[in-house]
Copies of this chain bind each other. A is one copy, B any other.
């Protein structure tokens, strides 16, 4: 029953995907503008729906941090509508000719950017994802098949209904934005096995969601994984710059994946840098290796697990290394492949670090916090890929597309 429901919804989304994939940029933009209008027009209704979810969560004893993510306000709905309009203003990636050439036999080959089809998103409590994710999917010519959490289902239904009405008003099928109705675990399990329906699944959630996707999904997916990001302070670093970057990378917003989790310091500057860094990282619990603790006794003892961990909190591991080779080896050993930074004035150190560190983004003299679709100039992002296939790093509209070879001949056959 549950499985049938998700599958039946899948068939409708798939049919809608064809229409949205062929829609002009103007039509897609109009759909996004109309969706924004309907969303604002139904603000009271959406807030009322959200109040139900919030009341249920409070009755369940949900933590205030989670409730804060769940709660909508008039300002948050306005910001969702703004998001829809901003995505409408972005360039349409569909139709871009990536390359093209002519073969000796006269065949003319072009590689053209086309929509993926149906993009599935599994996400947790924030109801704004319903609108943000749908906007990016639609603009890239895809149908959005959205599976939010049960805690946000009333809010998500109200938001999805508004988006669907906006899409319909434009003459596109409402099913191009479809919310999975059944929030059971069984429905989630069925969702990630809708091969032939979901062309790309993007899970946005914690390690247990990611693990279940890797283990159970049969549809293609892109992993938005964790960020065990390092800042390496080289022997030649400008220590003022290093301090400012370490503090920013760790403290500006510790709960996000591009926040730094580990500080690696070259032994030549450890005595000069570590005490001032520890003082500047006021409020951050530091755990480190024996050499770090010898320099700053207040640093706790780090286990191997600490070096591998994404704290997402005011906590940071510290390691002292003898040279650049050891720094690169340490980073590559513990990196989750998200973002790694070096602070240096030495050209060779910069070149080697960027060349040899294996991560989606490698920063020189900049905070790890810049790995972000908005900061990269993509206008918006659907996530940050920590995998190597299809997309790596911040994913914008381009990463929600695939390519097609279009080949023109005049009767060529193979001999």
Contacts and interface: CB of A to CB of B under 8 A. Distances in A.
Contacts of A18: 332
A55 interface: no
A403 interface: yes
Q: Which of A107, A200, A413 has the most CB of B within 10 A?
A: A413
Interface string A347-385: 000100011101111111111011100011100000000
Interface in A1-54: 18, 21-22
A304 B363 CA distance: 55
A245 B407 CA distance: 14
B200 A248 contact: no
Contacts of A414: 248, 252, 367, 369-370, 375
Contacts of A214: 195, 218
Given A199-B388, A388-B220, A362 B413 contact: no
A375 B103 contact: yes
A370 B22 CA distance: 26
Interface in A276-294: none
Nearest to A387: B220
Contacts of A220: 387-389
Nearest to A258: B414
A241 interface: yes
A114 to B, nearest CB: 8
B393 A390 contact: no
Interface string A381-403: 00000011110110000000011
A362 B406 contact: yes
A285 B362 CA distance: 58
Q: Oligomeric state, in number of copies?
A: 2
Contacts of A411: 238, 241, 244-245, 365-366
B412 A366 contact: yes
Contacts of A101: 377
Q: Is the interface of A mostly helix, strand, loop or mixed?
A: mixed
A185 interface: no
Contacts of A393: 403-405
A116 interface: yes
A22 B356 contact: yes
B361 A410 contact: no
5 contacts: A364-B407, A364-B409, A365-B410, A389-B402, A393-B405
Given A365-B410, A376-B405, A393-B403, 19 more contacts: A18-B332, A21-B358, A107-B370, A109-B376, A117-B388, A199-B388, A200-B388, A220-B387, A220-B389, A249-B413, A252-B415, A358-B404, A360-B404, A364-B407, A365-B411, A366-B413, A369-B414, A370-B409, A370-B412
Closest 10 interchain pairs by CB? Answer: A366-B409, A248-B413, A388-B402, A389-B390, A361-B405, A390-B390, A369-B414, A241-B411, A366-B412, A220-B389
